[in-house]
Structures are given as structure tokens and as C-alpha cells.
Chains A and B, each alone.
Chain A
Amino acid sequence: MEDKDISLALRAAVVDGDEVESARLAEAALQAGIDPLLLVDNCIQSALTQVGQQFQDGQLYLPELILAGDAAAAALNVLKPSLLKGGKGGTSKGKVVIGTIQGDLHDIGKNVVGALLTAHGFEVIDLGTDVSPKKFVETAELEKANVIAISSLLTTAMPYHEDVVRLLNDTGKRQNHFVIVGGGPVNVEWAAKIGADGYGRDAQDAVVLCEALLDLVVKPPLKEPLSFGSLK
């Protein structure tokens, strides 16, 4: 297979959400001597951008979005050692620890945000649902995450958001991580009340929010949360 064909096939495998084929083609591309950075930019990222846009346009649905994210992660895993060897390991825009807060089992919104963040070049560590404040903080510290993203659909699970911020404050780790909140009943006023750094109304807003936070020169916490998509 020619270099161009491998690249195209890798891109197609990511779009198709084929984890096994993506990893295999990433390996084949490295064997063929293709620059891994080009593979990331031209194949993986561009495939994810396409899938993300099709999701936004209602042409693809959540399973396809998640599977494409998984396929991209599989390919990146193969490419990572080569990227690091070439001093180009920092291709991720940043690391986000995401989860649905303790007491809440709803995961759809969180899954969409996680998949779109991946599609936009973030490294996402998904803790799943019913995640305790302690787990959020421990994982964020362990992974040196830039952002802790907390989701909830249930109003009555929201008090635990505050406990994440409180735990970061009380353990002297608040300056290590931005904290953002989102989900059906969450709004920017809530984010401000609990001392979070940002709020996004939908998944696309969450991506813009994470990009904006990581562009800042200041460390967390912010005096006022950044907000994207607030209702009129």
C-alpha cells in the first residue's frame, strides 16, 4: 500500500470507528516511515473534525461519535512513542478528567462532551458516572489534568459539584486544575456560586470553554467563571 493510501485508510478507519483497524493502520504507517505528526494532523484530527461536524449537523449519532473517538485513541496510542521520540509528544491540547457527579447515573451528556473534546484534540479521561469528589481530585492529580469537567442531569446531585471545589481548596490543589460544570439543570450562576472556573451549555460550548481556559495565562481559580451558551 502506498503512503497516501495508508493515510486515507487510517482516516477512514477513524471515521468508521474501527478501533482494531485504526491501530493496525497506524502501525503500518509508522513501518512505511510516514511522519507521525502528519498522521495526527491530516488523518486523525481531520477525521475527528469531520465526525464532530456531522454529529452537530444531525448526520451522525452518539455511538458513531464515541466509536470514532475510541478509534482515534487506539491510533494515537500506537503513534505516541514515535511522537515522544521526536520530541513531538505534546500533540494533545490538554488533559481533561470528566465524569458525572456522585449520585447521578446519567451519562449521555457527559459522553457527548467527552467525545467532542477528543474530536478537538484533548486527551480525555472518562471516570464514568456516580463519581465521588475524591475520585475526581485524585485522578486529576495523578494524571496532571488541566481541567476537571463535572456533569450532572439531576438538580439534586449538584451539591457535590461544590464538594469537588471545596476538596481542591482544602487540600491546596485548587491552582492545579480548572473546574468546569455542565448538564441539564446547571447554569453559569451555579458555576459562580460554587467557585467553578467555567460553564458551557452544550457540548460544543464545553469544547470552546476548555480551549479558552487553556489559552489563559493565569492559573486557576478564576475570579468569575467563563461562560459559553448561557440562556438569554
Chain B
Amino acid sequence: MNIPDVIEILERTRTGEVCNVKEWDVKRIPRTIRSKLEKYGLQNRCDPANPVNTDDSLADTFFRAGYELALELGMLCETTERIIRVSEDELASALKFAPSQLFVGTGKDGTLIKTRTPSDPYPMPFGASLGITISEEIWPALTEGIARQREVDLLEGGSLTTIHGRSVLPGTPFETLAGFEQGRFHREVRRRAGRPGMGGIGCISSVTEYGQLGGYGVPGGFLPTDLSLVLFPSELKVSYQVLQKVVHTLNVEGLIFAGSPAMIGGMPGSPEGAILSCIACSLLQYPILHSHVGGGEIYDLRYLSNVNREGLWALSVTHQALSRNTHILSHGIANEVSGPGTEALLLEILVGVSTIAVSGASFSTGPRSAGGKLTDYLSPLECRFCAEVGHAASGMSRAQVNDIAKAILPRFENQIKNPDKGKPVTEVYDLKAMQPTPEWEALYRKVKREAIGLGMPLDDKG
């Protein structure tokens, strides 16, 4: 085993090749990616007419190019403006010894995340929601509402921007306190929902390292059996803020869940370029960030979404490449843009989550209702639908899911640029009775029946 330990990675942030952020972003990343695309003949391979890839050899070629890219580029430490590179031996060792399964949470409420392959019948675990801003007064009931959805495997919950009515200022004691309070609320909510051992993901309100230091692995906060969220900037960049979270999580013997989206239209350029960046990023987080799980997020910069054709295709190729060639526990996000109470949101979930599940991702989190732009625009019902789709699509063939995507996409793709924001949770969900409004439930039933009609084995009665 030749995996660089944390202190060695920290040392490389001080001794690696000097490169400023701009040089990295606008020259190193695009030029190196372009050269790999050319070398492997991967330019212009995106097939918008078939958003879910079914070509194994194409996925494998992307993997080889992405692996080579990882070794050539490494990751940039923004704080010191030095490149952290790993050797082929180190990368191979890190991937070899990466977990192939991980139990998150405790006891009967916990969830086993394990290596999956395309069309794997093991139901892809689903965590809800993403970090959508939620008012402090609504957060406990809404998060409990999500935890009460038995189909949802892991609980993340929305972001808080106030604690005790005060703004959470990043990098200050306000954030340290917010991290702790969110961890405390999180455990209380899981207990109230009757799932005290449910796996959690925290801490979404930790912008800098302060929230994580205050809330993860400390008495009363998030448990070391929960996932510690370590997000890092695109493309292939880390910082001391990010590495602080890594060190802290390892110190408390926690579980590192790292992630960073590759951006179609951003520094990697085309969908093909974003796939390479995403694969390299997914692989490098194992030796550099000592990830337990993570890797595989791609968004399209034009829409801040990925439920468009190019985004879905890139997601499908990336997860197929990773799951066919490694046993890492990759993670995918379907980035929806429409809001609660709209049919479009359910259709976006249907297409996005099924693409990720059938392509072999080990788990997924979501939804990003209303693109995550609006406070309180999130309801438990779409969280449940995400999980149902994630479970049901596992085991389907990629061709089947491709057919569903082709049938459904024309219904919402023209609205991705200007989506319907829908309604806040208070208008689509009764948080006292823990029930959706009849209108929202009727839409959910309608889309579910439609998905069943298209061949997705969802439970019509559930």
C-alpha cells in the first residue's frame, strides 16, 4: 500500500509546483483536457439524441483518458497556489484500498452504500435533500417531514442562514455555533421521525471549515457514523478550508463524503471535456482527500442544471466509466430547476435520477427543487419521489432508461432556461399533518403512473 498520508498531502501543498489559480483555470485545465480528448479521439462524441449512453467501450475509453488526466494534472491548492500531484502507484493504491461498501448510520435505520455497476439491481441509496435555504422556523418540521419518508435512506436537509434569528456569518463563531446547532437539530429530527439511527450528511451550513469543526463528530452534533460533507471548488481545486474538514473528519474517525462538480461550458469546455475533468476529480479525491465516498457530479454552466440532454449524457458516461473501472462509491446529483408543485420538477427527477441509478452510481442526493434558488421551495414529497425513482430504476437496462428519457425530455427541456419556480413548502405541504396538498399529491400520482406505464417498476400504491 502506497497511499500518501494526510501529512504528506499537506506537505505537497507547500512544496508542489507553483501555479496561480488563473493559469490553472484558463490554461492548464482546458489545454490538458483538450490534449487528452484529441489523443483518445473523444471530441464530439456527445449524443443528445440518446441521453443515456449504452456504449461500454466509449465509457471505458473516457475512463482511461480521465485516469491519465488525473496523473498529469493533480489538484491545485488554491491557498498556496501549488499543485498536489500523486504518482501512478499512489493513485492505484488509493483506488485499490478505497471502500467498496460503507455503512452509514447505525442499526436497522442505517444504510449500506456499496459499489454498483450499470444496471446493478442493488437499489441505489438516496439522501435528501440538497442544501436549499430553509427558514429557521420551518427547518425542523420540514426536515422531519423528509426523514419520515421511509424511501429516503439518508438525511441531509436544507441550509440554515440564521440561528436563533441571527445571520450565520461564514468563518466566524456564528458559523461554528450554526454547525453545532444543525447537528443537534438533525439528530433530534431523526429521533422524532422514529429513525434515530438513520444516516446523516452534515454539515450543509458549513461554508468554511468552522461549521464542520463545530458540528461534526462533537458530542451532541453529527455522529462519526454520519457522512462529513467536504465540498471543494471546480475544477480540481482544493484549499486549506477543504483540507481542514478532511483532517477534522479523520481526527474524529468520521466518514469523508467529498464532491465537486465539473462544469460543462466552464473550464473543461464541452460535455466530453467535463466528463474527463469529473473522472480525474473523482479519482484524485481518494489519494488527496482520503474520501470514503464521492465523485461524479457534473452540471451544465448554461443552466446550472444537468437534466438537459448534454448534462444527462455526461452524467451517464461518467458514472458508467467510474463504476465499470473502479469500485469507488461514486455519487451523482440530478440538478433540477423547476419548483415544488410543478409537474416539470417530477419529470426532471424521473429522468435525472434514473439516469444516475442505471449508470452505476453508488448513491445519490437531491432534489434541487427550484434550482436551489429560493428559500423554502422544497417539500418532502419530491424527496420521496427521488428515492423511489432511484430505487426502482436500479436494475433496469440503460436502453430502457434512455427510452424513458427520450419520451419525457420534450415535456420540459424547453423550460430549463426559464423554469417554473412552483410554490413554497407551506403552499404544497401541510407540515402539521405531514401530508402533501391534494393537488401536489395528484400530480405526483399522475407522473408515477406515467413512469410505470413507461416500464419503471415503481410501486403504484406507495
Interface residues of A (CB under 8 A from B): 58, 61-63, 66-67, 102-108, 111-112, 128, 154-160, 162-163, 184-187, 231-232
Contacts and interface: CB of A to CB of B under 8 A. Distances in A.
Interface of B is mostly: loop
Contacts, number: 108
B302 to A, nearest CB: 6
Nearest to B234: A108
Contacts of B171: 102-103
A157 B265 contact: no
28 contacts: A61-B265, A61-B273, A62-B266, A63-B26, A63-B30, A103-B207, A104-B170, A105-B233, A105-B237, A105-B241, A106-B233, A107-B233, A108-B263, A108-B266, A155-B131, A155-B132, A155-B372, A156-B168, A156-B175, A156-B207, A156-B211, A158-B161, A185-B372, A187-B373, A231-B373, A231-B374, A231-B418, A232-B418
Contact of B208 (A58, A62, A103, A155): A103
Interface residues of B, number: 51
Given A156-B161, A162-B167, A185-B373, A63 B267 contact: yes
Question: Among B21, B170, B268, which residue has the most Cβ atoms of chain A within 10 A?
Answer: B170
Nearest to A61: B269
The 7 tightest CB contacts between A and B, nearest first, are A103-B170, A159-B167, A61-B269, A231-B421, A63-B30, A155-B133, A156-B207
B26 A156 contact: no
Interface in B422-438: none
B207 A104 contact: yes
B269 A63 contact: yes
Interface of B: 21, 25-27, 29-30, 78, 131-133, 159-161, 167-171, 175, 178, 205-208, 211, 233-234, 237, 239, 241, 263, 265-270, 273, 301-302, 304, 339, 370-374, 418-421
Given A155-B131, A232-B421, A160 B266 contact: no
B302 A58 contact: yes
Contacts of A158: 161
A41 B159 CA distance: 47
A72 to B, nearest CB: 14
Contacts of A155: 131-133, 159, 161, 372
